[in-house]
Chain A
Amino acid sequence: MRRRAIAALLLVLSVAMLTLYFRETAGGAVHRVQETSLTVISPLQRGAARAIKPFRDAWHWVGDLFHAKSENADLKQEIAKLQLDDARYLTIQQENDQLRALLAIKRGHIFANGTNDGLRLIPARVIARSTNVWYSTVTIDVGRSAGVAVYDAVVNGEGLVGRVTAVTDNACQVTLITDQQSFVDAMVLPGGGQGLVAGSVTGDLTLQYVDKSQVVKVGQDVVTSGMRDSIFVRGIPIGVVTGVAQQDVELYQSISIRPLVDFHKLDFVMVVHK
């Protein structure tokens, strides 16, 4: 009887905390405790991320290798030998590629309009990832002290990664554009059809609310539209159109997008502070 009472009490407490969490504002007590917790744990996450990185890279290389096997068995064997012989070199090269891509952002190459004037770009490293599919988030190692603020956009050398949703002094949480509660105002190029890029629990992206009168074709690029008061600057690449469907009963087109960013291999990113 006492055991049941204790368990019931703890369950009620859990529900009470859940209710409080959703009812309070973003600056409420529970949210503040969460930010403090992240401040405490982020150095450990940073260390763990660095310690695990060689293993993650090796795992990814194995995955890539498995893919290549179906295309060319001989080539795969050669690559496998090279990768196993020099895994460290490949890891460093991968980091180098990502850093060079970030440098390209600094030089204004990532943005469609060719400039990033007036923006502050803050380089960062991913130190933790969400542990379930329900929340597509990562934690990066820069925070308020580096000038990061909530709603700042986050990019890497490939395109838009997400937006900052919580900040502490030395770390922040980034909600990826694949999160099911992420919506990004976007447009299709060329053509200019505008809509909202929405994430999903499956990790797929869709461009929603594009009027049927707009002509959208497979292979076209999707970039941020940067509408007035948007949190994203104009012209950040998001993805490529992979499918367009129209149904008589729907008011808008159904457009599938393949994101440019490989979210499984995120390491270095850049926070775009307006």
Chain B
Amino acid sequence: MNVPLTSPSLTSPPAGSRAAHVTAEIGRLVVALVAAVLLETALAANVRVMGANPDFALIVVACVGLLRGAEVGAGFGFLAGTLVSFVLLEPVGVNSFIFVIVGYLAGRYAETADLQSGFAPVVTVFAASLLAQSMFAVTQFLLARQVPFVFVTTRVIVPAVILDTLLAAPMYVVVRFWMRGEGTRRAYQTP
């Protein structure tokens, strides 16, 4: 029996529904963006566990990268990082630079990962948090601020990575529920 090479999900939607589909998709992303920024600036600032604050924005960026691919992940990361820096009165550009990389790499990873296993979000957020915290430290070093290696490693990076990783699975479930609809672009779908 011959099986068609193109799955139904790869066929183009009718022209009329495409605009509505894109609008809905943008709406979902905007709401996710606002929620991520509010969580980061209003909630995370008041929650400190083991000396670390949860990086909700980073986790949401990683989840969006996983669910929507590298392009959307990078763009979402840029906007989330910029807004967080604006609201927290931190140097603008640092967060966006790091979140772009996180969103992009999460999207690239999603192209080959098995997202149904539940393992991918945890691995992604663990790697994203480790990468982001390390890049924050390097950025601070470049900005001529103190970066004592042992302190930063044991009191900053490790607690933050553990905390973010613990939050990865529940937050991924929430983000996936909200972003339901169009699936992740797999490797064979990307140009």
Contact = CB atoms under 8 A, between A and B. Distances in A.
A binds B: yes
B140 A52 contact: no
A131 B145 contact: no
Interface string A121-158: 00000001111111101010000000000000000000
Given A17-B92, A21-B91, A134-B140, A3 B42 contact: no
A181 B144 CA distance: 10
A135 B75 CA distance: 26
B84 to A, nearest CB: 8
A130 B146 contact: no
Contacts of B93: 14-21
Interface in B45-85: 45-48, 51, 53, 55, 69-71, 74-75, 77-78, 81-83, 85
Interface residues of A, number: 50
B78 A14 contact: yes
A34 B78 contact: no
Interface residues of B, number: 52
Given A10-B78, A10-B96, A200 B146 contact: yes
B40 interface: yes
A2 B92 contact: no
Contacts of B94: 14, 18
A7 B91 CA distance: 20
Contacts, number: 139
Contacts of A56: 46-47
A37 B71 contact: no
Contact of B41 (A6, A41, A181, A200): A41
B78 A2 contact: no
Contact of B92 (A21, A135, A264): A21
B89 A45 contact: no
Nearest to A49: B46
B146 A10 contact: no
Nearest to B85: A34
Interface of A: 1-3, 6-7, 10-11, 13-22, 30, 33-35, 37-38, 41, 44-45, 47-49, 52, 56, 128-135, 137, 139, 165-166, 173, 180-181, 200-202, 264
Interface of B: 38, 40-48, 51, 53, 55, 69-71, 74-75, 77-78, 81-83, 85-94, 96-97, 100-101, 104, 107-108, 136, 140, 145-148, 151-152, 155-156, 190-191
5 contacts: A56-B46, A128-B45, A137-B89, A165-B89, A201-B148
